[in-house]
Amino acid sequence: MKVLKRLVIILLVLFGLFYFVGLPYLRNQTKKYSPERTSSYTLKGTDLEVHYSSPSKKGRNIFGDLVPFNKVWRTGANEPTTFTTTEPIDIIDKPLSAGTYSLWTIPNKDSWQVIFNKEVPDWGVTFFGDGTQTTRDAAEDVVRVEVPSRVTPESVEDFTIDFTNEDQLYLSLSWDNTLVNVPINKK
């Protein structure tokens, strides 16, 4: 009985060390290679912000290889990308209430599905898996749109999300030779 109690205590201590020391250390190490970035924009008095981790290309084939086609991607690295709006907006023609959402995508060769989800999980992918198994709960999706993807003339080394305004505000995602523009409208 004493041996069993000691074993349980040892296992709890090891789990505690891993959870409170090991995981934070691992997360900090991954951010060295995929640094956190924030982009913001004010649209007619509405503050918009996207917060993400930016991996680098490093000579790799990105879409269709590192990021598989037709699979949900956490849209960056590390924790899921978040999108915040201080007032209701429309993503193309679909309403998105004020709040913070996790941003997910399903890349394909000619178009991407862009998903705003009301849950923001701690980490973007499952602990045990090949890195493509996300922690997204599809039942919590609030907006899902499909937008065309374009091939860029020059390769983009670091994954970038930014706001661009060309007579229309876009949430722009670019990496490698791919650019995706998601229209954002304020009523």
Match 């037709």 to its residue by tokens: 70
Retrieve residue 17's tokens. Answer: 């060390």
pLDDT of residue 123: 58
pLDDT of residue 79: 84
pLDDT of residue 26: 55
Kindly list the distances between the CA atom of residue 52 and the CA atoms of 74, 84, 104, 173, in Å, as whole numbers in the listed order: 10, 12, 11, 11
pLDDT of residue 33: 62
pLDDT of residue 125: 52
Residues in the chain, pLDDT under 70 = 18-19, 21-33, 122-134
pTM of the model: 0.79
Retrieve residue 33's tokens. Answer: 């290679």
pLDDT in tens, 7-18: 778 788 777 776
| Cβ(159)–Cβ(54) below 8 Å | yes
Q: Which residues are bridge partners to 164 per DSSP?
A: 170
Kindly list the distances between the CA atom of residue 38 and the CA atoms of 41, 53, 58, 77, 170, in Å, as whole numbers in the listed order: 10, 9, 22, 13, 16
